[in-house]
Chain A
Amino acid sequence: MEYYFDNAATTAVRPEVAEAMVQYFTKSYGNPSSIYKIAQKNKTAVERARGQVAEAINANANEIYFTAGGSEADNWAIKGVAESYGDKGKHIITSCIEHHAVLHTCEYLETKGYEVTYLPVDEYGLVSLDDVKKAVRDDTILITVMFANNEIGTIEPIAEIGAFAREKGILFHTDAVQAVGHVPIDVKAMNIDMLSMSGHKFYGPKGVGALYMRKGIKITPLIHGGAQERSRRAGTENVPGIIGMGLAAELAVKELDKEMPRLTALRDKLINSILEKVPYSRLNGHPTKRLPGNANISFEYIEGESILLLLDYKGICASSGSACTSGSLDPSHVLLAIGLPHEKAHGSVRLTMGHFTTEEQVDYVIQELPPIIERLRMMSPLYEEILRKNKKGE
């Protein structure tokens, strides 16, 4: 039995989505740019999917450009604005807890003469509008702040930042890869100019994403070539992927009213039970301004990879912000940004639930996780010191 608690990493494709895709691999395989019937039918299907994706965020279909994923959408939005609006200014504002697709793109632009302000966050991972206001300069051309954080699930004040950016006439991009299909998004009401999304985070396929670009915004293509995507993004369309992403977006948004309260209840049950059962543990991220399926907890005196290995042994798939799992010496930049010392960041575990998560699965994790923590602590020289100190204090 597999207990999948890593839905922020990727999600399983819904069976009905996979089924809808199959015919576009084997039967209806025509290139949408071709003139014959099976190709033209695909063009229509791609446009229908564009409509489904647009509707999910209250955009117009002609404002959606399909990409090969969320990272491409982020790269395109940021590099595109930098290049096309570079004569107006060279300053970009972002947050220090962005996904690397945004952070590393900004760092790259710094090597090309752009200046980037990395906004700090508070202990919950929230960006403050005041900080955005203070960071704005005459030469600011872009504000890019993520909709919701992939590690700690914190939902940022996007509508407030959007309203401010619009008033100032500064372009506002948001990396909404973790948010689309999970929380309501209205690009019009929230004054979002550009938004990145990724199909595989809401039960669609991997390798397909989209950039929403408000009508009137023109940025240089990232990928030059053919005239696909209204000459903005070249390359033969990933027809099965686009079809799958479109249907997945439609289904996710249609079920939002049901799924949000269900997952929020599961999330809170998981968080509260673990915090109650395990001493020296803390929740990372905001308790309520939080993605419905995200739980991120730090366990003191132990290290994350060890926890993941023991969870895996029990069939539970999870992830961690420890250095050992990131392949570098530093733990997650997000956990450090919210003020966790290195040792607490090393002991973090992220459990992300989704459409296929049941209450029985949550109960299983609540049952299996505490003994794992205890087992590792009994092995830890740091815990030994705490026990000794506590004993002395008695």
Chain B
Amino acid sequence: MQYSEKVMDHFMNPRNVGEIEDASGVGTVGNAKCGDIMKVYLKIEDGIVKDAKFKTFGCGAAVATSSMATELIKGKTIKEAMEITNKAVMEALDGLPPIKVHCSCLAEEALHAALWDYAQKNGIVIEGLEEPVNDISEHEEIPEEE
């Protein structure tokens, strides 16, 4: 399987690995059974994504898309953040092999899950954002944080 140089770069030197202690929103998507889990932390201030971090269990493409998705969302307004699609992540990485496209979808879902968490906590509605179906953190994480 051929990964682009950009994918390999983001896999070998992933940006934004880690956690944010006082994150404004956290989203976890995927499951271990399928072999991919992405957890995204966002720090949002004045409607702008000030910082983004991730932790990912998964293949090279899963790590690279997490890295790129967190890069893309940093500095964006919430409205702009909503425009980061799996396609945008893929394009920024110079493409993915066909069987890895789902990794970019997961990255988009992870961003949305973190934004959803932020919206829930702050009682706001983000236009176009729906409750993440893939979020596996709801039941484990929220009680801990409350």
* A-to-B contact residues, CB < 8 Å: 301-306, 309-310, 313, 322-324, 327, 329, 331, 342-343, 346, 378-384
B39 touching A381, Cβ below 8 Å = yes
* Neighbouring B residues of A329 by C-beta, 8 Å: 34-35
Instruction: Report whether B58 and A306 are in contact in the complex, using a CB–CB cutoff of 8 Å.
Output: yes
- A346-B56 in contact (CB<8A): no
A162 to B55, CA, bound (A): 51
CB of A306 within 8 A of CB of B11, answer yes
B106 at the interface (CB under 8 A from A): no
Q: Is the CB of B57 within 8 A of A322?
A: no
Q: How far is the CB of A223 from chain B (nearest CB, A)?
A: 32
Q: Which of B52-69 contact A (CB under 8 A)?
A: 55-60, 62-63
Main SS of chain B's interface residues? mixed
For A301, list chain B residues within 8 Å (CB): 57
Cα–Cα distance between A324 and B34 once the two chains are bound (Å): 9
Write the chain B residue with the least CB distance to A327: B99
Does B17 belong to the interface (CB within 8 Å)? yes
Interchain CA distance A380-B55 in the complex, whole Å = 5
Is there contact, CB below 8 Å, between A303 and B58? yes
Q: Which residues of chain B are near A303, meaning CB under 8 Å?
A: 35-36, 57-59, 62
Query: How far, in angstroms, from A382 to B58 measured CA to CA in the complex?
Result: 11
**Shortest 9 CB-CB distances between A and B: which pairs?**
A343-B32, A305-B59, A324-B59, A381-B39, A381-B55, A342-B33, A346-B35, A380-B57, A309-B60
Question: Measured between C-beta atoms, what is the minimum distance from B21 to chain A in Å?
Answer: 13
Expressed in whole angstroms, the Cα–Cα distance for A185 and B57 within the complex equals 42
**B71 interface residue (CB < 8 Å to A):** no
Contact with B59, one of A322, A378, A381 (Cβ below 8 angstroms): A322
Which residues of chain B are near A327, meaning CB under 8 Å? 99
Is B14 in contact with A331, judged by CB distance below 8 angstroms?
A: no
Q: Is the CB of A323 within 8 A of B34?
A: yes
Q: Tell whether A343 pairs with B33 under 8 Å between CB atoms, given A305-B60, A306-B63.
A: yes
